[in-house]
Amino acid sequence: MVKSLFLWGFLLLGLSKSFAQPPNDNCANAIPLTINAICTNGQTNTATNEPLDAGGCTSANTRTVWYSFTATQTTHYIYVDVISAGLDAVFAVYSGTCGSLTKLFCVNATGTGADEQTTHNSFVVGQTYLLRVSAYGTTNGAFCVSVRGAPSNDLCSNAISLTPNGNAIEGTNILATNDGTTTCLNTAKSVWYQFTATHTTHRIELDILTTTANLGFRLFQGTCGSLTAVLSTCAEEANGAGIDEAYTYTGLTIGQTYRIMVSSAPSTTHEGWFYIKVIAPPANDTYSNATTLTINTDCTPGNNHLATADGTSTCLNNAKSVWYKFTAPIPTTT
């Protein structure tokens, strides 16, 4: 009998943990969100029902979780990335404190499985707001929520440094403002990057993630406030919505810092997400810089992207050659 009671209690405890409510199930336990941080995961599966508030766009009998954020500027972009195909997400933003909230707006523009997002431009800097994310009707699932302000590299003076041949960096010009001038791009939504040339040849690649965004870039030399475009023509300008951009520059000065503006096409004010990277010729582009290989070790990754000609061979086209070397072991005798 004692064993049966113990087993029954253990099962109840396991069930209670399996169906535990989210820590931010109530307004008083809202999870703080950091502006421009990576999105925060959440779920409504085990959340409790929240009553429908006046003037809301949520449905009655809806499972709700809570977040908070402090405005760092008057305009912020709120994005709920729906992860579960069966979730119809809805969100609302409030001023005030729990128990005495005033709804500012709510968003329910899409349907099940689709993301929800909006830009609001009348926040009060320094004020804390409550963000309620709900599952519409009987839907439920997981999501990831974020609040964004102007990008940290909105100004030329705050350009993000890129390392040639380093990993691509994710970026956005959402909520960016105007900084800089060029006729090749609409500078109203511009963000900035910079790199120090390690070779006379470098390639910039812009991988567009937002398929509706027509974005491009422009390379400058000089200092912020006194910049000169490297090219006299608009060869790097945006080519169309969702189309990746790339350009290979030659004649750069080794050791000089160059700045990259990313913005929308001249006739648009598009905003979106992208990856950007700077590529230089491989370190083993020349015979004198051949990479050393060690006998019987794992393979060494390599590439000949942007490699130049060094050496001659009738068996290969040496226009894109890279070099390796190894020391042959001395045979042993018995």
| Higher-pLDDT residue of 31, 235 | 31
Model pLDDT, residue 12? 40
> Can you tell me the mean pLDDT for 69-95?
95
Q: How confident is the model at residue 61 (pLDDT cuts 50, 70, 90)?
A: low
> What amino acid occupies position 21?
Q
Choice among 65-74, 159-168, 314-323 with the minimum mean pLDDT: 314-323
Question: Amino acid letter at 237?
Answer: E
Determine the Cα–Cα distance for residues 41 and 320; give it in Å rounded to an integer: 45
pLDDT digits (tens, 9 = 90+) for 139-153: 999 999 999 999 999
Question: Which comes out higher in pLDDT, residue 8 or 53?
Answer: 53
Which residue type does 72 have? T
Structural domains of the chain in order of their starting residue, each with its CATH number: 19-148 (2.60.120.380), 156-279 (2.60.120.680), 283-329 (no CATH)
Average pLDDT over residues 277-296: 87
- Give the per-residue pLDDT at 17: 41
* For residues 292-309, average pLDDT: 84
- φ, ψ for residue 265 (rounded to 5)? -60, 160
What's the start-to-end Cα distance of the chain, in Å?
78
User: What percentage of the chain reaches a pLDDT higher than 90?
Assistant: 57
Cα Rg of the chain (Å, integer): 27
Q: Which amino acid is at 164?
A: P
What is the DSSP secondary-structure string of 307-330?
----S--SSS-GGG---EE--PPP
CB 278 within 8 Å of CB 196 = no
Closest CA to 307 of 332, 282, 329: 282
- If one counts every other C-beta atom within 10 angstroms of the C-beta of residue 203, the result is 17
pTM listed for this prediction: 0.70
- Looking only at the bridges linking them, the beta strands covering 128-135 and 62-70 are antiparallel
| pLDDT tens-digit readout, 7-37 | 444 344 444 444 689 999 999 999 999 999 8
- 3 state DSSP class of 289: helix
